[in-house]
């Protein structure tokens, strides 16, 4: 299969390239290669390269910035996905688009399934939800995959890192570190997402999927596992979301349950803690 990966040099994209290149021919596309807000440029790139499937990891995901520039966020997270879906439909290309746990408001307080009604609380989440609808409704051969708290070996280009790298940096630079213990989710390494994606695209089971590790954890407990595993000495303390200035509304609970993956026999997502420890061992 020939797979075009948009955002191939990013945090998730780089692991997709690594995992999928073992079995497939990869067309690695970065921002300099394709502009998803320009449908004509998309059409030119894809009609000449003719991939069997496109995996889209491109997103405007600096959440506070999206509040200041909602038009720009929608242009990339909404219109950009619409453009890709339209071209994929026209060119008979399968389409997989990655979305976010932030489409939920956190009020449920138990794991969200694909059947639960989204209620995004901020601009970023609203634009990502619009992208989901565009993908599913404009391309019949599309998958939408929601992920949660992702981290990988290659830093997120827009944010300059991820939670793990941020914690390691703070542990080196600060006299103490405080992390919120009242925001609950299931952080997931990008390598695990790439492995499950490899299984998903072997099927023609198009539709909406959750793809996160098993279990749930607060950011503080997650950080404590980093401290314990790497034997960090800097004091680590729990804090509340209320202790930090509120820049943008976020869900306090956004755990995902992978119901639809399990229905098609993909049950390979590990527990969050084991996945984190395995990831930390790759950093040594």
Average pLDDT over residues 250-264: 95
Domain holding 57, by residue range, is 2-152+188-212+256-267
Q: Is the pLDDT of residue 109 over 60?
A: yes
Q: Are strands 217-218 and 184-185 parallel, antiparallel or unpaired?
A: antiparallel
* 75 exposure class (CB count in 10 Å sphere: 0-12, 13-18, 19+): middle
The reply to whether 181 falls in a domain is no
The reply to whether 126 falls in a domain is yes
The reply to whether 124 falls in a domain is yes
Average pLDDT over residues 249-259: 94
pLDDT digits (tens, 9 = 90+) for 30-39: 888 999 999 9
Q: Is the pLDDT of residue 247 over 90?
A: no
Residue 137 pLDDT class (50, 70, 90 cuts): very high
Residues tagged active-site: 124
The reply to whether 148 falls in a domain is yes
The reply to whether 200 falls in a domain is yes
Assess contact for 46 and 54: CB atoms under 8 A.
yes
pLDDT of residue 35: 92
* E-assigned strand segments in 102-151: 142-147, 150-151
pLDDT of residue 155: 66
CA dist list (Å): 241 to 31, 119, 218, 223, 234: 34, 20, 11, 15, 21
Q: Is the pTM of this model over 0.85?
A: yes
Q: Is the pLDDT of residue 264 over 90?
A: yes
The reply to whether 176 falls in a domain is no
The reply to whether 174 falls in a domain is no
CATH number at residue 132: 3.40.50.720
Average pLDDT over residues 222-237: 92
CA dist list (Å): 224 to 198, 210, 251: 31, 26, 21
pLDDT of residue 283: 76
The reply to whether 131 falls in a domain is yes
What is the overall mean pLDDT for the chain?
92
Residue 160 pLDDT class (50, 70, 90 cuts): low
Average pLDDT over residues 7-20: 93
Per the model's pLDDT, the better-predicted residue between 249 and 136 turns out to be 136
Q: Rank 125-134, 169-178, 237-246 by mean pLDDT and report only the highest.
A: 125-134
pLDDT of residue 157: 57
pLDDT of residue 139: 97
Q: Are strands 142-147 and 188-189 parallel, antiparallel or unpaired?
A: unpaired
Q: Domain tally for the chain?
A: 1
Distance separating alpha carbons of residues 23 and 252, to the nearest angstrom:
39
């Amino acid at each position: 299969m020939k797979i075009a990966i948009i955002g191939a040099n990013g945090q998730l994209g780089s692991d997709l390239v690594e995992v999928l290149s073992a079995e497939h021919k990869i067309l690695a596309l970065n921002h300099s290669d394709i502009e998803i807000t320009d449908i004509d440029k998309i059409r030119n790139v894809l009609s000449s390269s003719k991939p069997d499937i496109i995996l889209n990891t491109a997103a405007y995901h600096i959440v506070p910035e999206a509040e200041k520039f909602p038009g720009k966020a929608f242009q990339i997270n909404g219109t950009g996905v619409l453009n890709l879906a339209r071209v994929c439909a026209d060119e008979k290309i399968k389409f997989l688009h990655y979305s976010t746990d932030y489409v939920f408001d956190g009020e449920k307080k138990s794991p969200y399934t694909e059947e639960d009604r989204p209620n995004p609380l901020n601009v970023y989440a609203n634009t990502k939800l619009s992208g989901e609808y565009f993908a599913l409704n404009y391309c019949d051969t599309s998958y939408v995959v929601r992920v949660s708290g992702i981290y990988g070996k290659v830093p997120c280009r827009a944010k300059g890192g991820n939670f793990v790298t941020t914690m390691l940096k703070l542990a080196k630079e600060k006299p103490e570190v405080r992390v919120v213990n009242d925001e609950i989710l299931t952080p997931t390494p990008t390598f695990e997402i790439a492995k499950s994606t490899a299984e998903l695209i072997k099927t023609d089971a198009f539709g909406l999927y959750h793809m996160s590790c098993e279990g749930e954890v607060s950011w503080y407990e997650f950080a404590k596992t980093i401290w314990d595993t790497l034997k960090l000495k800097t004091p680590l303390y729990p804090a509340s979301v209320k202790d930090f200035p509120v820049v943008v509304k976020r869900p306090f609970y956004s755990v995902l349950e992978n119901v639809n993956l399990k229905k098609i026999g993909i049950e390979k997502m590990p527990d969050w803690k084991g996945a984190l420890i395995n990831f930390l061992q790759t950093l040594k």
